[in-house]
């Protein structure tokens, strides 16, 4: 019966996953169908605009060239008309002189004849007919303004849509996710020397598999990539996965996207848990600061509630035993928002825990102390750490402690034992917790120098733990275990910097 239920449960899980996959695919198809309509309308509009621009250019060229012909016509007509007028006038003058010369032949008087002959000679010398150029200043030919658009017609007849680059192919096996960077590698399915650059888009997601059309995060764009490889740096892995896709661009257009690839980007993400933190700590998601005035208003409200409830407690004593809380328990005020109902840290336990626990695997986070922070501790603890317990003073907590009050000290603490650390105190500390390997290591976050390692078998899940007094801490999560830390752990087997006096078997 149990085996059949297990088999049925596996079938149900498979069907549910397939249904979700089909639902996502249907959304993709619907989105693509709507996109075809929108994009088709857009490209038709673009085509009409391009042809209108082409028509406009042709009309402008036609008008310009027609004007050139008309101007040439006016110029030649003017030149020829001037020559024609001058020649007509010269002809009239020459005909008149010719007639005068012919009449002079009939003169009998020698003096009169000599006088007429001299006059005719002078007039011939100055006659316009002998001063004119007998060559037209312009021809009637207009062949120099003829056109031959055969090549242009051929070009127009060969108009085609833009040659769009093909979609690249992402090499998932060559993509690398390490040290909070993502290197994406791709190639073209065929050589294309017209490609000018690539566009990479990525999107964080918590959904495995193909990207969803509707996701909680938008695609982020990296443009003008000149090679077929790109590394995204400075990432915070606050999601389980990352979708990536690439498109190629030539000088004219961008091609289709590659098939998207989903890369795993898991990292340990947590925040400070304000509900159970000490009242003197001002807690936000990524920072905690000492606040000496914190909680005073809340304490007065708590006392008021306790006084109002005293008479009611007396009546409760007469109730049945199974429904009667002890007076001591009833007087304890718990915040309803506290995860797991744990008490708020109080007394001198200026503690705040992380809001996520760890029970297996390797995890890493970094902490930076604010300037002039007097005292702070960084480490891990069991979730049931007592509300009065101070980090490092119980067998359920492990930490390194920094004290800048009066005199500076830097020590590793566990089970009320301390070991001074003879290393330079860094500005930012990296915490590496290996639940499977049973060790907790602290590093200089910048240089990755090992500061200290606890070797222990954690018998229960642990949570990040912090103590702050007169100062503050800022937290960086969503970090992968740095490759330098992994290499060191493999090389040194996690023993470098550990203290045998502080190693323990946690129960």
What are the pLDDT digits (tens) for 429-464? 999 999 999 999 999 999 999 999 999 999 899 999
Alpha-carbon distance of 165 to 191, in angstroms, equals 10
The token pair at 251 is 């000088």
| pLDDT of 222 | 96
Residue 129 has pLDDT above 90, yes or no: no
Domain 351-490 has CATH 2.60.120.920: yes
| pLDDT of 408 | 86
> What is the pLDDT confidence band of residue 379, given thresholds at 50, 70 and 90?
very high
> What is the pLDDT confidence band of residue 319, given thresholds at 50, 70 and 90?
very low
The token pair at 468 is 């702050």
**Mean pLDDT value across the chain:** 85
Residue 210 DSSP label = S
Residue 5 has pLDDT above 90, yes or no: no
Q: What is the pTM of this model?
A: 0.64
Residue 321 has pLDDT above 90, yes or no: no
Beta sheet of 439-444, edge-to-edge order? 281-283, 287-290, 472-476, 362-369, 428-434, 439-444, 450-457, 504-505
| pLDDT of 297 | 52
Alpha-carbon distance of 164 to 255, in angstroms, equals 5
DSSP string computed for 2-49: HHHHHHHHHHHHHHHHHHHHHHHHHHHHHHHHHHHHHHHHHHHHHHHH
- Helix, strand or coil, per DSSP, at residue 356: coil
Alpha-carbon distance of 360 to 462, in angstroms, equals 10
| pLDDT of 502 | 54
Q: Which of 26-35, 462-471, 473-482 has the lowest average pLDDT? A: 26-35
Question: For the segment 277-305, what is each residue's pLDDT rounded down to a tens digit?
Answer: 999 999 987 899 999 887 665 544 444 44
Nearest partner of 477 among 271, 190, 209, judged by Cα:
271
The token pair at 184 is 């994406």
Q: How many CB atoms are located within 10 Å of the residue 79 CB?
A: 14
Q: Which CATH architecture has domain 169-264?
A: Sandwich (2.60)
What secondary structure, in 3-state letters, does 187-222 show?
ECCCCCCCCCEEEEEEEEECCCCCCCCCCCCCCEEE
> What is the pLDDT confidence band of residue 341, given thresholds at 50, 70 and 90?
low
> What is the pLDDT confidence band of residue 474, given thresholds at 50, 70 and 90?
very high
Mean pLDDT (whole number) for 382-386: 93
Q: Which residue has the higher pLDDT, 367 or 24?
A: 367
Question: For the segment 154-203, what is each residue's pLDDT rounded down to a tens digit?
Answer: 998 988 887 889 999 999 999 999 999 999 999 999 999 889 999 999 99
| pLDDT of 120 | 86
Query: What distance lies between CA 132 and its chain's CA centroid?
Result: 83
Residue 78 has pLDDT above 90, yes or no: yes
Mean pLDDT (whole number) for 112-125: 86
Please classify residue 246 by burial: count the beta carbons closer than 10 Å to its beta carbon, then call 0-12 exposed, 13-18 middle and 19+ buried: buried
Identical fold, 169-264 and 351-490: no
Are the CB atoms for 390 and 469 separated by under 8 Å? no
Which residues have a Cβ under 8 Å from the Cβ of 36 and sit 6 or more positions away? none
Alpha-carbon distance of 24 to 458, in angstroms, equals 42
Mean pLDDT (whole number) for 401-425: 92
Are the CB atoms for 237 and 267 separated by under 8 Å? yes
The token pair at 292 is 């000496």
Q: Where are the domains of the chain?
A: 46-157, 169-264, 351-490
The token pair at 132 is 């004119």
Residue 490 has pLDDT above 80, yes or no: no
- CB contact burial 304-330 (16+ within 10 A = b; e otherwise): eeeeeeeeeeeeeeeeeeeeeeeeeee
Are the CB atoms for 86 and 128 separated by under 8 Å? yes
Mean pLDDT (whole number) for 371-392: 94
Are the CB atoms for 348 and 390 separated by under 8 Å? yes
Rounded to 10 degrees, what is the CA torsion of 118, 122, 127, 130?
Answer: 100
Q: Which residue has the higher pLDDT, 324 or 104?
A: 104
| pLDDT of 505 | 38
Instruction: Give φ, ψ of 164 to 5 degrees.
Output: -90, 135
% the chain with pLDDT above 90? 55
Instruction: Please give the radius of gyration of the chain, using alpha carbons only, rounded to the nearest integer.
Output: 48
| pLDDT of 235 | 92
DSSP string computed for 253-308: -EEEEPPPEEEE---B---B-GGGS-TTEEE-SSEEEE-TTTTHHHHHHHHHHHHH
> What is the pLDDT confidence band of residue 495, given thresholds at 50, 70 and 90?
very low
The token pair at 30 is 């619907």
The token pair at 370 is 């604010």
Query: What distance lies between CA 477 and its chain's CA centroid?
Result: 20
């Amino acid at each position: 019966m149990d085996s059949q239920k297990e088999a049925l449960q596996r079938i149900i899980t498979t069907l549910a996953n397939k249904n979700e996959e089909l639902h996502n695919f249907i959304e993709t198809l619907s989105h693509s169908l709507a996109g075809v309509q929108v994009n088709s309308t857009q490209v038709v509009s673009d085509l009409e605009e391009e042809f209108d621009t082409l028509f406009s250019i042709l009309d402008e060229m036609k008008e310009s060239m027609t004007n050139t012909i008309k101007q040439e016509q006016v110029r030649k007509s003017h030149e020829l008309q001037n020559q024609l007028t001058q020649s007509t006038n010269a002809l009239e003058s020459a005909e008149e002189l010719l007639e005068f010369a012919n009449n002079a032949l009939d003169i009998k008087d020698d003096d009169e004849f000599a006088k007429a002959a001299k006059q005719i000679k002078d007039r011939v010398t100055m006659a316009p007919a002998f001063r004119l150029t007998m060559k037209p200043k312009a021809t009637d030919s207009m062949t120099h303004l003829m056109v031959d658009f055969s090549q242009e017609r051929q070009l127009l007849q060969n108009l085609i849509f833009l040659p769009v680059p093909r979609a690249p192919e992402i090499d998932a096996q060559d993509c690398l996710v390490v040290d909070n960077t993502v290197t994406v590698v791709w190639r073209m399915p065929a050589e294309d020397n017209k490609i000018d650059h690539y566009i990479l888009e990525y999107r964080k997601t918590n959904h495995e598999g193909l990207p969803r059309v509707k996701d909680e995060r938008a695609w982020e764009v990296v443009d003008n990539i000149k090679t077929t490889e790109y590394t995204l740096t400075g990432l915070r892995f606050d999601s389980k996965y990352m979708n990536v896709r690439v498109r190629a661009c030539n000088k004219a257009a961008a091609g289709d996207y590659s098939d998207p690839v989903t890369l795993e980007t898991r990292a340990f993400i947590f925040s400070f848990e304000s509900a159970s933190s000490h009242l003197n700590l001002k807690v936000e998601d990524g920072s905690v600061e000492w606040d000496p005035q914190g909680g005073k208003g809340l304490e007065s409200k708590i006392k008021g509630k306790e006084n109002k409830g005293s008479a009611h407690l007396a009546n409760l004593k007469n109730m049945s035993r199974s429904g009667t809380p002890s007076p001591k328990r009833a007087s304890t005020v718990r915040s309803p928002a506290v995860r797991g109902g744990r008490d708020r840290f109080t007394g001198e336990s200026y503690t705040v825990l992380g809001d996520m626990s760890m029970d297996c695997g390797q995890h890493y986070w970094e902490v930076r102390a604010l300037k002039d922070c007097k005292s702070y501790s960084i480490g891990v603890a069991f979730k049931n750490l007592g509300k009065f317990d101070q980090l490092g003073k119980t067998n359920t907590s492990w930490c390194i402690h920094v004290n800048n009050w009066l005199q500076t000290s830097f020590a590793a603490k566990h089970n009320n034992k301390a070991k001074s650390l003879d290393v330079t105190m860094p500005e930012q500390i990296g915490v590496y917790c290996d639940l499977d390997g049973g060790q907790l290591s602290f590093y200089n976050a910048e240089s990755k120098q090992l500061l200290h390692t606890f070797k222990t078998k954690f018998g229960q899940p642990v949570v990040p733990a912090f103590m702050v007094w007169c100062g503050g801490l800022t937290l960086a999560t969503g970090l992968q275990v740095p490759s330098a830390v992994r290499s060191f752990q493999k090389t040194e087997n996690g023993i470098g910097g550990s203290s045998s006096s502080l190693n323990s078997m946690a129960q």
